[in-house]
Amino acid sequence: MNRLLPLFVLCVLCRLQGYSQQTEAVFGDMDMFTLEGIKPLKSPFVYPYVVIKSKNNREKDITCHIDNKTVKSYHYEKIGHYWRTIYSHVGDTSREYVYEYVMPDKIVGLNYWVNAKSKASYLKEVSVFRKWEEENFLMGKGLTIKPDVSLPDRLRAQALGSVVQKIQIKNGVLRLERTIYNEKGKENHRNVTCYRIGSRSYFAWQYLYTDKEEIKCE
């Protein structure tokens, strides 16, 4: 009898188990640059909270439980040096698809509008979110171009305008300064909006809370 066989079988089982490792945890906050949870929670859970499931460090499911009726889920896949998710929502005139690419220093978003009749998709908006600043490029009637993480750099010069939002949190107040630029880079409009955010992070305020209390900016 081959005594090496049981050892060989055990090694194969260990490898198979390694390829199917899954973790699940519940948090009160999250960092969307790393897709990691912050502030671990124990049962019983109080709304809002986020459940993060990881599989083999190649897939992640982030589920935001806003209240007992509102749940939003996002599925991420690791591709090279970034994570990607694709989700859709109903826009003003048609369904829109968002391709989101997550990296440690930025999050790139590509917003596509789908023609209801022809089913053709057009890139309408490109966003780049860095810590404390988000920039959106407006692509006019849209471009017929395949989604790719490199599009912001390639299409910046073709944009018909842009919107830059600077983010600041101080003393429990979130301050959003929004500036609109035309295609030549000239400022057209600027406005500032403030919200009471307390001890929440910007991501928690954006993803988990619906009670966005607007206040007067000082």
57/84 same-domain check: no
Give the pLDDT confidence score for residue 218 in this predicted structure: 84
Q: Which of 36, 59, 77 is the last residue of a domain?
A: 77
164/154 same-domain check: no
Give the helix ranges, DSSP H, for 84-143: none
CB 174 within 8 A of CB 197: yes
153/165 same-domain check: no
pTM higher than 0.95 for the full model? no
10/39 same-domain check: yes
What is the domain count for the chain? 3
Q: Which of 15, 49, 77 is the last residue of a domain?
A: 77
Question: Containing domain of residue 31, as a range?
Answer: 1-77
Task: Answer positive or negative: Cα dihedral of 81, 87, 91, 95.
Answer: positive
Non-local (6+) Cβ contacts of 80 within 8 A are none
Non-local (6+) Cβ contacts of 196 within 8 A are 172, 173, 174, 213, 215
Tens digits of pLDDT across the chain (218 residues): 444 334 333 343 444 444 458 899 999 999 999 999 999 999 999 999 999 999 988 999 999 999 999 999 999 999 999 999 999 988 666 789 999 999 999 999 999 999 888 888 999 999 999 999 999 999 998 999 999 999 999 999 999 999 999 999 999 999 999 999 999 899 999 999 999 999 999 999 999 998 899 999 98
117/170 same-domain check: no
Q: Which of 113, 128, 159 is the last residue of a domain?
A: 159
115/136 same-domain check: yes
178/208 same-domain check: yes
84/155 same-domain check: yes
115/150 same-domain check: yes
Give the pLDDT confidence score for residue 119 in this predicted structure: 84
Give the pLDDT confidence score for residue 117 in this predicted structure: 82
From the list 43, 17, 93, 37, the residue with the least C-alpha distance to 207 is 37
The CB density around residue 150, as the number of other CB atoms within 10 Å, is: 9
Give the pLDDT confidence score for residue 15 in this predicted structure: 45
113/155 same-domain check: yes
103/141 same-domain check: yes
